[in-house]
Chain A
Amino acid sequence: MNSEAPNSKPDLYVVARIIKSLKKKNRVNKTALATCTELSYDKLVKYLDWMSKKGFVLVDENGLVSLTKEGLEVYDELVQWILKHVGQLKFPRLRAST
């Protein structure tokens, strides 16, 4: 997983963090987004380029980033997909006794 090269192999965790932040803040500038996603500005810009090509985000002429409906849908589908698999797990109540 090379999170430095979003054009070829995007880090899903980073993409999810960006989408989650955008869900909360709607429209936000790149610097603020970099801060709240704990990404370096350069790295964020690379991801935003990749995400805007995929249609997940829109970056307007003022540099404000917003989430598209597609981006939100993909994020929700990803949540559902993970929940489908992890949600089936039943965990026993374990307590190692000595």
Chain B
Amino acid sequence: MFYIRLKVTFIYLLSRVSSSLRWDAMSEKSVSSMSEENVVKKVAELMETLDEIKKYNVLDRYLKKFTIIVIGSIAICILVNLSISFFGLLSAFNEFERFFLNFPIVLIPTVGVVVGILFVKRKINEVKTGEWKKELSKGFPSALKLLSEIDWDTSFDVVSSGRLGYAMYSLVKGAAYGFIFFFIIGFVLNLITYLVLHRIGALGYASFHFSFLAIIIYLKHDLSKRFNEIREIEKLQLELRRLSDELRSSEL
């Protein structure tokens, strides 16, 4: 559609050439080549941004698998913990020893988060980007070709779907971090109370409160960063829609 409009515009431009202009050939030539460079630069920026948005979309596409890996590891951790208590596997040890022997199970959700993040990173790295660079290196005509070949509707879908997944990814990761923080802070606090008071569990739910606070701070920072990016993507989507509409409707 865009291409047809471009052709209409081109034909229109052809009709305008009859009105001859007096111009200085040299200066006009340099202005023209600068404009061509600007078009190529802008199209490169557009293509790079669309490439980057594809990566956001990967987060959305693999969010379910990431969630399964992370939540699954947390579930396994809880099950292992319950099993140890239920079967009394550490009953031969005193309270203090049991607590510290129990601690390594935090490695299960930690490994889960690391595996989940590495899985998503690998998928992001698999996104093919920059395939347009070779074409664009040929200059303005190639920029024209790339612009004409952009599937705007698909691009808008990609932009829309990537946003929610990006925020949800942060929440899932935040929940897993919260769980891990809870264990680690609990371990540190109990170690301190044991060293100072020779008791464990003296601070009650302090580890829960501290881990909750830590995760609120983390999520505030991470989510605000992500929402800022999402806002930028929304603005870009509006701009792309405007560009698409202008190019489609422009009859000049």
Contact = CB atoms under 8 A, between A and B. Distances in A.
Interface size for chain B: under 10, 10 to 19, 20 to 34, or 35 or more residues?
35 or more
Nearest to B35: A79
Contacts of A4: none
Contact of A73 (B6, B21, B147): B21
Contact of B52 (A10, A15, A83, A96): A96
A88 to B, nearest CB: 7
Given A17-B141, A78-B13, A79-B140, A96 B148 contact: no
Contacts of B21: 73
A61 B136 CA distance: 35
B57 to A, nearest CB: 9
A56 B246 CA distance: 27
Nearest to B43: A86
A74 B14 contact: yes
B243 A85 contact: yes
A96 to B, nearest CB: 4
B38 A92 contact: no
B16 interface: yes
Contact of B39 (A12, A56, A73, A82): A82
B136 to A, nearest CB: 12
B45 A91 contact: yes
Contact of B235 (A15, A16, A92): A92
- Interface of chain A, main secondary structure: helix
A80 B139 contact: no
Interface of B: 3-4, 6-7, 9-10, 13-14, 16-18, 20-21, 28, 32, 35-36, 38-39, 42-43, 45-46, 48-49, 52-53, 55-56, 58-59, 117, 120-121, 124, 138-145, 147-148, 166, 169, 225-226, 229, 232-233, 235-236, 239-240, 242-243, 246-247, 250, 252
Contacts of B48: 91
Closest 4 CB pairs of A and B: A92-B232, A16-B141, A96-B55, A70-B17
B19 to A, nearest CB: 9
A92 B9 contact: no
